[in-house]
């Protein structure tokens, strides 16, 4: 159902700050800890820690450029993460449908047997 790798990806994108960071990197292109921190409600150091987490799970990678470090999204890895999201989503969705169908079936049986 869920592997250790999956959990790492999930916990990486589970944090709202990190999700927003990915959003920003996707929308505005590569950025640094400082540039991202200017658009987030946390300090540069906090952003830096989040970048390290995202880097560790491979969702982003850094490119040193002089005194700056440019981070950008790893598209393949993010695509994998998106796939996992939709996988869990569709699993739950399917189970919800099944439960609903069963509930309706039971209701129908009751109606038939007890005449309403």
Q: Would you tell me which residues interact with DNA (CB under 7 A)?
A: 11, 15, 17, 32-35, 41-46, 48-50, 53, 66-69
Of its own copies, DNA, none, which one does residue 88 interact with (CB within 5 to 8 Å by kind)? its own copies
Q: Would you tell me which residues interact with its own copies (CB under 8 A)?
A: 1-2, 7, 10-11, 13-16, 19-20, 22-23, 26-27, 75, 78-79, 81-82, 85-86, 88-89, 91-93, 95-96, 99-100
Of DNA, its own copies, none, which one does residue 34 interact with (CB within 5 to 8 Å by kind)? DNA
CB 70 within 8 A of CB 33: no
Q: Is the dihedral of CA 17, 27, 65, 43 positive or negative?
A: negative
Buried b (16+ CB within 10 A) or exposed e, 62-95: beeeeeebebebbeebbebbeebeeeeeeeeeee
Nearest approach in angstroms of CB 67 to DNA is 3
């Amino acid at each position: 159902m869920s592997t250790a790798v999956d959990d790492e990806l999930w916990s990486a994108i589970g944090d709202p700050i990190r999700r927003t960071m990915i959003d920003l990197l996707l929308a505005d292109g590569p950025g640094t800890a400082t540039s991202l921190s200017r658009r987030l409600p946390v300090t540069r150091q906090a952003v830096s820690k989040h970048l390290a987490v995202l880097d560790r799970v491979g969702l982003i990678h850094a490119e040193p450029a002089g005194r700056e470090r440019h981070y950008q999204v790893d598209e393949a890895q993010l695509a994998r993460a998106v796939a996992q999201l939709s996988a869990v989503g569709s699993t739950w969705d399917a189970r919800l449908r099944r439960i609903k169908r069963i509930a309706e079936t039971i209701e129908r049986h009751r109606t038939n047997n007890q005449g309403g």
